[in-house]
Structure formats: structure tokens, C-alpha cells
Structure 1
């Protein structure tokens, strides 16, 4: 299973690169194509991110349920092939409308995170699920490292160069998967595809009927909306507040990705053993409280860089929460659950970029009553606190360590 696992983790990494790759160059790319101010570019950046997220929201349950029916292998391979073509189209795009079309297709192809999560569930024992989902998070973090670094460094060669690099990486991973990926869906776990469960709303209803899942999905939603403040406004926030250039923005995101990968790929295993999955969720939220509160008012770029390792500790939340939910559903529902979780995350990506970029634009426009580039982090802090309250109420009867077993 080693090479297939490498392929699946690489696929998740490329999915993450689809977000991180364009972040350092997005302000320059939008101004290059459309013109206008940085505040105008932030609004268009929110629209492009939202289009990407809408497609993920609509297609994550579809691909998750489809993988339960026809298998993980065909879903992953076809998506990668189309993704490589999509990056080539974006490399050649000369208008915002073509960039928008590329983000729409990219959102569909990046919806395979649900299928990758189902594969991890297929090969994991119940007590290993949270830790192995941490590997997915680490792969996502690696994509967050490579995406911004590639985007920032190759962006010096032109705003299109990063897209060519991403197309080549997707094509190479497709070739690897073609030769090494083995199917994990068996006749015993295969389930017929049903549009009533595959559409996002039908999938939500099906998952909500499972005891204890609905409130945890709300926690995951609030967490996702809050945490997406980073990719939504980081490039604009740091350019406005600290005057950072694409290289420094890419470096900062790369540092965050490395720290996030270490937290989810290494620290999470120990955290689950020490304080359980529930405790890992709570501690991760505490670190997010600290990071958001400081970033809202920070004035020093050096301090912002120093804060990155603390903010990355918040990455404990997602895989621990994912592990809690995965253990509560049947084996033949893993793809459906992962599809719903990815759709919830995608829904947050629809809401968060528009909310965060609009907040940023409101507080940074010329003549703004209050100048506060960090205002979106206060919004994120409120959402994170709300999620923590729901989680505490939902898991009140559990002790910090009982979910470790």
C-alpha cells in the first residue's frame, strides 16, 4: 500500500496547491489582467475563490458517492487528467472570465479530497483513523508549502509560470497513479450510486440522521469559515499592512505550510495519545484564538512571521474532528461522509472569501472611517469561539482522553 498511499497523498497535495499556488501572484495577476486598485483585486480574488469553492461544494458529495460505487481509482485518475489540462488553460488565460472558467473546472477536479479521505478510511483501523487523517492534513500542508513557494518564486518569471509547473506536476502524478493505484472498494463495501445521496443537500440529510454527526458538522463548518481567513486575505493583508512582495508572501505561506504539515503529520499522533481526539480539537481551537486575536491588531511583519508556528498549531482541529466523525459511520458510508465534509469545507470557502475580502476592503479603502487591515481576523475569532461552544456542548459527556481508545 506504500506507493498507492504516496499517490493519494500527492493528489491531496496538488489539490492544496490549487489554492496556494495562485495566492502570492493573485493580486498582481488580477491587476495585470483587469487593472484597478488592490482593494478591487481583493474583491475579484474573492469571486474567483468562491467559484472554486462552489464547484467543490456541489461535486464533493458526487465524487465521494461515485467512489463508493465505482471505486477510488477511476475517480482520482480522471480528475487528475482534467486538472492538468485546466492548469494549461489558466496559463494561457487573458481575461478574468477565462480565469473564472479555469477556477470552476479546477474546483470540480479538486473535489477529490473526499475520495482521498475515503481511501484513507478504507485502509485504516478505527484507532488509526485520526492519525492517518493527519497524514492527509500533512499532505495538504505540503501543498500549502509548495504552492505558495512555487507561486512566489516562479511568479518572478511571470504570473503564468506557476500554472505550467502545476500542470506538469498533475500530469506526473496521473502517470504514477495509473501504474500503482490499487482499488480498495470491494464487492462487500460497494454501494450503488444514488443522486438523492450524491447531491450536497441529500448527503447532508443522510449524514444528519446519524447520531451525533449533525452538530459536529456545524463545528467543522464554523471552523472552516474561520480558518479560511488565511488563504482568503493573507496576500492582501500582508501587502497592505507590511508592504510585503510576492516572494515574502510566498515564504510566509511556505513556513505556515511546513509547520502545519509537522503538526498534522507528527504532533497529532502524540496529541491524540496524550489528550484524545476531543482534547486535540479543543487545544487547536485555543491556539487559533491566540493567533486571530494577535493578527487583528499586529503592526510588525517580523512578529507576524514569528506567530506562524503558534497559528499552525490550530491545524490539530480538522483531522481530530474528522477522526471522531469517521468512527461514527459505517464502512460503506466513508466516501459519503468524506464527500459531505469536503462539501461543508467548500461551502465555507464560498462564504469565507466573500466575507473576509469584503471586510478587508471595507476597512482599507481610501476614506474608511476606521483603518484596520486585520479586521477579518476578528470575524474569524468570533466564528471560532462559536464553534468551540457547539463542540463543548456536543461532547460534554466525554472526557478529554476517552476518545483516544
Structure 2
């Protein structure tokens, strides 16, 4: 990266910093609930399956909403979409914090997922359009926000969770309220150009074979992702702070490989080759997590190593989506993300049910099998994916890929 770009990253208009700050908080929400899952289960007399539905409702609604967010933002504009998304997150986070039952929190997390979908589907396009120094500077700034949010979320959740399981929810309310005011005051809305997107566009995009193959791959891969993220707090047996520190390490590992390692690998080999190397390695890590689940140090090691592999997969898979079709980037990404999030939504309660029916090893074996199904999908569809190895997405396209794929 040139020195000019490095300097320009830190010399941005106030509106860019407002959206970037909101991005950090939004991505913190991915792991914020993780450290308090056992505490919620204990405090509200909820079963592990019920508790894991906190992820399911959030991810299911986020995924389904992705199918319509491009249609919404193309009509009401980026600023209005960001503000509606932030307002929904504030409102439903507050309702979660004030809830007295796990069923209520499950429902309110669904509303949170709708707000998250509206926000993350619009945030990067806004940063790219407003940042100084071109799209390269915008990508650096966005990926910094992404990595910071993913890493800090579990740590903050652990700190606040030591006080009360309600603490992380109140923390999101406060931070997102600040982000809402910042975007409202600092981001310019009028004058933006809008090109209405047909409601049916994402559904039609999934008929394209290459995109469909990648979407199915991501669905099974995401099962592995969310078993590791959402189920692991239970067998770890740590308090909120211990879980938070564990997934802080996971988040840092994921961010490092997503931003630096994945691009390096893609420069040296085909994208499909990278995928077919990383997926089996991830399956091995998940199997080892299952075998050594009763040894906390070994499980923590597997979680962090898993984060390294997940970071590579997130970036390479979503970059591949950008090359899979000539559909508009936002349309292709939203269609892919909607299918991908279904895997994330299904994984946590299935893992908890398998744990209850068998033992803590079986959920990780289930996750490993799912990841291997993802690898087989790539092998069987590799001829249809030949063109994704023949092109390099430009900087802005890669940024959109990371936005839509890593926001899960």
C-alpha cells in the first residue's frame, strides 16, 4: 500500500468517521452475546437450545432481510436506510436488556437482525462514496472497523457480562445511540443518486449456477462457523470474562487473516484451490475441538486456530461471489448472504440439541461434516466456477464482498 493511501485513511470527512464508528459497533454485535449465553441460560431458566435461538432469530431475519435491503435503500436513500437500521438496533437492544424471559429476547433479537441487515447492507457503499483517497482508503478504513468490532465485541460482552447478563445489551444501546446521532448530524443525505433495484433481483440471481454453488457452499460452511462461535461458550465452562477473552483471540485471528493473509494467498493460487485447502483444515480443527472438548486449553486453541481459517474463508468466498456473475454486486452479495445466513441460523440450536442428546463432542463432528459437504460442493461445481479463478476483483468490488460476506 502506498504511503499516500496510508495517510489519507486518517484524514477523512467527519461523515466517514461517523459511519465507520457505527460499523465498529455493528460488528461488535456479532460476538457481544457470546460470553453471556451461559448466564442467560442460568438466570432465565432457559435450556441451551432456547438460548442458542438468540443467534438463530438474529441470523434468520438478517438473512431474509438481505433479500430486500437493496430494494429499500435504492428507494429511500443511504442515509435514511442507515438511520432506520440503527434505530431498530437501539430499540430492540433496549427491549432485550429489559426482558424477563428468554422467549422475549429471542423475538427482540429478530428485530435487531432486521436493523443490522439494513445497516450493514448500506454502510460500506456510504464510506466508499464519501472517503477521501479513493476506494483503497475506504477499504482500509472499513476493514479496520470490521476487525476492531469483531475482536472487541466478545471482550466488551465479557466485561459487561461480569456485572449482569443485561449489561452487553445496554452497552449496545448506548453505543448505537451515539452512532445514530453521529450519522444523523454528520452524514449528508440529499443529492445522492438512486437507481431503483427490482424486488425480484436477488431471487433471479440465485438461478445463476456459479452463484448458487457458492451460496450452498457458504450455507454448509456457515454451520461450522456458528457451531464454533455460538456453541463453544457452553463446553468451555468459563465465566463471562473468560469466554470474552477467548473470543477476543478468535476475533483478532479472524481479522488478521481476512485482511492480510487471504489476499496474499489469492495472489499465489486460484480461489477455488484456497477454498479446497482451507475447508478440510477447518474440518480437522473442528474434529480436534470435539475430541479435546473436555480440556479447556485445547478447546481455546482450536477456537483461535479456527478463527485464522474462518478469516481466510470469509474473504475468499465472498470475493468469489463478486466474480461469479455479471449481476450488480449488491444484488449478488445479498442473494448469497441470505442463503449463507440460513446455515448460521440453523447451526446453534442443532448443536445444542445434539449436545443434549449425546455429548459435547457430537456438535463439533456435525460441524466438521458440514464443512466437508461445503468442500464437496466446490469439487462438484468447480467447472462452473472456472471463471472466478480467471479474474481479480478490483478494490471496490473486494470491499463490497467483505461487507456482505463478513457481516454474518
TM-score for both structures, normalised by structure 1: 0.81
- What residue number does 1:379 align with? 366
Once the two structures are superposed, the pairs formed by residues 206-221 of structure 1 within 5 Å of their partners are 206-210=204-208, 212-221=210-219
Superposition RMSD in Å: 3.2
Give the deviation of 1:104 after TM superposition: 1.9
User: C-alpha separation between the residues in 2 aligned to 1:178 and 1:152?
Assistant: 30
Match of 1:263 in 2: 257
1:191 aligns with 2:195: yes
Query: Structure 2 length as normaliser, TM-score?
Result: 0.81
Q: Cα 1:341–1:137, aligned 2, differ >3 Å: closer, same or farther?
A: farther
* 1:341 correspondence with 2:328: no
Deviation at 1:57, TM superposition (A): 2.6
Deviation at 1:8, TM superposition (A): 4.6
Quick one: higher RCO (CA 8 Å, sep 6+), 1 or 2? 1
Q: 2:98 and 2:260 mapped to 1: Cα distance?
A: 39
Deviations 1:206-241 (A, max 9, x none): 1123352111111111111221112321111212xx
**Cα 1:25/1:373, change in 2 over 3 Å:** same
- For residues 380 and 150 of structure 1, do their structure 2 counterparts lie closer, same or farther at Cα, with a shift above 3 Å needed? same
Contact 1:61–1:340 (8 Å) recurs in 2? yes
Identify which range, 345-354 or 273-282, moves more after superposition. Answer: 273-282
- Quick check: 69-78 or 255-264, which moved more? 69-78
Instruction: Name which of 264, 273, 283 aligns with 1:289.
Output: 283
Distance 1:329 1:121 in 2: 22
The separation in 2 between residues aligned to 1:253 and 1:311, in whole angstroms, is 11
Q: Deviations over 1:350-384 (max 9, x none)?
A: 21122111112212xxxxxxxx3121111111111
C-alpha distance in 2, partners of 1:14/1:388? 33
Give, in whole Å, the separation in 2 of the partners of 1:154 and 1:91.
Answer: 12
Aligned to 1:20: 31
For the residues of structure 1 that align with 2:219 and 2:139, how far apart are their CA atoms?
18
Change (3 A) 1:228 1:56: same
**Aligned match of 1:231:** 229
CA shift for structure 1 position 262 = 0.9
SS of 2:196's partner is coil
Give the superposition deviation at 1:122.
7.4
User: Cα deviation per residue 1:170-192 (whole Å; 9 max; x = unaligned)?
Assistant: 122223333444679964xx433
Q: Distance in 2 between matches of 1:321 and 1:308?
A: 20
**Is structure 2 residue 175 aligned with structure 1 residue 169?**
yes
1:280 to partner: Cα distance: 3.3
Unaligned runs of 5+ in 2: 1-8, 394-408
Distance (Å, rounded) in 2 between the aligned partners of 1:137 and 1:160: 29
CA contact (8 A) 1:135 1:265 kept: no
